[in-house]
Amino acid sequence: MSDDSRPTPPGARTAAVIPAAGRGVRLGPGAPKALRTLNGTPMLIHAVRAMAASRAVSLVVVVAPPDGAAEVKTLLDSHALPERTEFHVVPGGDSRQDSVRLGLEALPSGIDIVLVHDAARPLVPVDTVDGVIEAVRDGAPAVVPALPLTDTVKQVEPAGAAGEPEPVVATPDRARLRAVQTPQGFDRATLVRAHETVTDNVTDDASMVEQLGLRVVVVPGHEEAFKVTRPLDLVLAEAVLTRRRLNDGF
Ligand SMILES: Nc1ccn([C@@H]2O[C@H](COP(=O)(O)OP(=O)(O)OP(=O)(O)O)[C@@H](O)[C@H]2O)c(=O)n1
Ligand SMILES: C[C@](O)(CO)[C@H](O)COP(=O)(O)O
């Protein structure tokens, strides 16, 4: 068994890194996306609570907008969060990848498992978080929650002139495709090595581990772990929160 596939010790400590430094250009003008509210509470606070809801997560590192670390610290201090969890805030970078790396650099020794979770996925249920952690504990160096696709997907030629129709070149077999979410979970040493080694721009952390040639596995994601990207996603997120409140009876 290689070092990268050894089971993580049962007492392994888990931290969550939350990249929250993006502007949210696709959401439209306004505050940085993570600071926008969903039913009155900042998206980032929902995301932090979603990580801290897992009893396995002992530390949450929030990667704030580069000039917004003080504001984010104040925000965390002013919201109720579980006392058993430690919270740190660090400034982020120009890309998601840079922000995650800066979060990783802030982790203390003694952390063996790292979750990387988008602030923009504020509603991920705790069972999904725990499923990812369990799969890392069972020996996978990288674990991705994912869902089957509901749309048929077409591969097209890169667009020529703006507004020109794009020619379709293939229709991949949908049964073999997955839409991936976060938190993605990693053996810490593997993720650090991936961030030290891979310099291409990628859209998720697991693909960096794939580039190292290591095993990445998929576990079930959840429809409520969707990413708030465009304005309609805000409407859906607030509807989900309202449904949860009604179901919980308060
Ligand atoms: N420089 C960046 C860019 C993104 N992120 C974070 O990465 C997550 C996923 O990114 P995405 O949803 O694409 O957010 P934005 O980059 O903010 O969105 P957009 O591309 O619309 O600007 C978000 O939690 C975002 O805050 C980050 O920490 N640092
Ligand atoms: C990491 C991620 O959430 C996986 O779906 C996603 O790739 C990050 O968001 P982006 O919109 O690609 O920046």
pLDDT on residue 1: 33
Ligand 2 atom showing the smallest separation from residue 96 Cα: 13
Whole-model pTM over 0.90? yes
Burial pattern 110-146, b for ≥16 Cβ within 10 A else e, equals ebbbbbbbbbbbbbbbbebbebbbebbbeebbbbbbb
Q: Would the CB of 178 count as within 6 Å of ligand 2? A: no
User: What is the average per-residue pLDDT within 210-233?
Assistant: 98
* Domain annotation for the chain: domains and CATH numbers: 3-147+178-248 (3.90.550.10)
- pLDDT band at residue 162, thresholds of 50, 70 and 90? confident
- Which ligand 2 atom minimizes the distance to the CA of 205? 1
ipTM of the complex: 0.97
| Amino acid at the residue 130 | D
The ligand with the least distance to the CA atom of 208 is 2
Mutate to test the pocket of ligand 1, among 96, 180, 181, 233 (most ligand atoms within 8 A of CB): 96
Ligand 1 contact via 188 beta carbon (within 6 Å): no
9 — pLDDT class (breaks 50, 70, 90): low
The reply to whether ligand 1 has any atom less than 6 angstroms from the CB of 33 is: yes
Give the nearest ligand 1 atom to 47 CA: 24
CB 201 within 8 A of CB 96: no
Backbone angles phi, psi at 65, to 5 degrees: -50, 145
| Residue-level pLDDT at 161 | 83
Ligand nearest the Cα of residue 183 is: 2
For ligand 2, mutation pick of 23, 227, 228, 233 (most atoms within 8 Å of CB): 227
User: Which of the four pLDDT bands, split at 50, 70 and 90, describes residue 226?
Assistant: very high
